[in-house]
Structure 1
Amino acid sequence: MKIKNLLLCGFVLASGIGAGVYFTQYYPEQAEVRQLEKQIQRDYYGGTFKLSDSEEKEIAPERLRVLAEKGYAVAQYGLAEFYQENENNTLAKKWYEKAAEQKMAHAYVELAALEENKSDKKALLEKASALGDAKADYNLAVSYLENDELTAAMLVEKSAKAGYFDAMSSLSIMYREGIGVKQNWEKAFDWSLQTYQRAKALNVAAVDLSMLVTKNINFLFEDTYKQLAIFYLLGIGTEKNEAKAQQLLAERHSPVQNKTLKKILEELSLDELKVEILTMDIPKEYQERVAILEAEMNSNRDPEFWLKLGEKTEDQTKAKGYFGSACDFGSQKGCDKCRETNEKEMKKE
């Protein structure tokens, strides 16, 4: 009986010591590791989840160093980020490599960003892609785009389906422009809508300078609000909805933080967008919808509307007609513009 009691006491004592060690040392480490994992996922992919107040707190570099030296890959990655932010790429590379040795895909992507040799950069991205990293797929697509648009499009779509924001935005462009895929404005609408919804969830602007570069197109500027408004005005991929188009144009500036983008984005009214649509290169299968929009616009008796339409139209014959409408509705400027356009045509003859 005494032996049993002694064994029981020993077991309780050992359990107490083990629990003490766990809650004073091991558990805090695990909590910090989980915090780091959530922070990295949120920052890296633009995760839609919100972190708790405790998870939002930064872990000090000294503590990161302790955790990194204990072999936690996320801490090694976090420490590498710290060094990179402080422009110490040598140490950043060292710790990214340690995280990559533990098959942390994100670390391979960051190593690729630090690599100048194109073939080595590509090899690192391929390792990350093999581990299922959506950002790696997107960056690989950019490297393929100039010479192999089909592979690039496949990689962008894979990345977009995994929820990588830049890929979702770029895939809409690819379907709209027919880059690596058959041109399909219904699919372009679908990916524009998903990009918009993702941006809303992340509380960021659905406006950016795309990384996509081809032989004919350099740095495509993507304005998801405007593109969706066009789709809603023409009823492409969705029902025609002028109110929704108006809402999108109203939202267009509010979330934009980048000063360069703010300068690029000019205020755009619904009437101005309608005018622009008439001057755009719209696929043939939607020309009938454009004609319907133009017929609806013809009932507009505001001379300023027709002046803007004439000024944005490159076709001088059409421009003269628009200026003539502005003149008919009482605009002297419209009359003057109509006369000037007519004189230019006569000189050419």
Structure 2
Amino acid sequence: MTNIFKQAWEGLFGSSPKNDVDSKLKKLAEQGQADAQCDLAQAYYEQENYTLAKMWFQQAAEQGHTRAQHELGLMFFAGHGVAHNIELAQYWLEQAIEGGRSDSLFALENIRENTNAYSQERIYFLQEQAKQGDAEAQFELSLAYYYGQGIEQNFDQAILCLTKAAEQGHFIAQYNLGISYENGQGVKQDYNQAIYWYQQSAQQGYPDAQYNLGGMYFHGIGVKQDYQKAIFWYDQAAEQGYDGAYVNLGFAYLNLEGSENMDQAFKWFSKAADEGDASGLYMLGGCYMEGIGTTKNLTLAKKYFGQACDRGLQEGCEAYQDLHNRER
């Protein structure tokens, strides 16, 4: 891996995915990178620092980051760190839906069906349906318990209901259960269980689960690092329009040998760049600078570094300035 790509790898992903996460995320978030802002918000949310979580989710959401829009909508619905606000919850979920996020549609429909924040009658109905094995009711009841809507907040009950729905093949429940095990939310952290539930959901074609499963293989979390398997699952998500997978596909191919893999890296960095992804723009500039999957072209390299810089990626600014200095 050439220097520019090595620097990018360490700057964007870290030499180890679990080391110095907060400091690196905060640096990138402060530079305006939406992915980092969203990840930092998630980290604060898991620490129950809802004020900072809301702040960083909102900054990413305002840049069009669909996962941040989704999470911000859920925060307004649940009243975590913000006043309970159905209108803002619906607004941010609608923004995420426009960006192609499928689970936001389900969440929005759920909110619209239960605008009264789960009346006692609704809770009773869900409990009765859940007892009869209705997976949809079990899943919806898990959300009520998790967010404390219409019933006392109870993470143990939320996980119990979520597990029952997941075991019946509810793919969003399977995905959410995977997240719970990966992050240790309501359960003891267990990467094996996270991978199992992500895989169950991913095999049903759910792109969010496919993306997360790809990430487990990409970083070697709970499994042996395997770029080929990461590529398989990232590709499944990307083919469904999950644009967050594009730049990671590029990196995965970059870690394999052979000109065909370099061509694929260039292809996916290009797709990420077309979506305005700062990391994708930066890496596409690197491809043109190093001749990876394409002919060397310093003019184009400078162009894409500049565009990455304009989107707040400091590495892009530094690479742009470096090329500018060479021209003097």
Question: Which is higher, the Rg of structure 1 or of structure 2?
Answer: 1
Q: TM-score scaled to structure 2, two decimals?
A: 0.49
Q: TM-score scaled to structure 1, two decimals?
A: 0.46
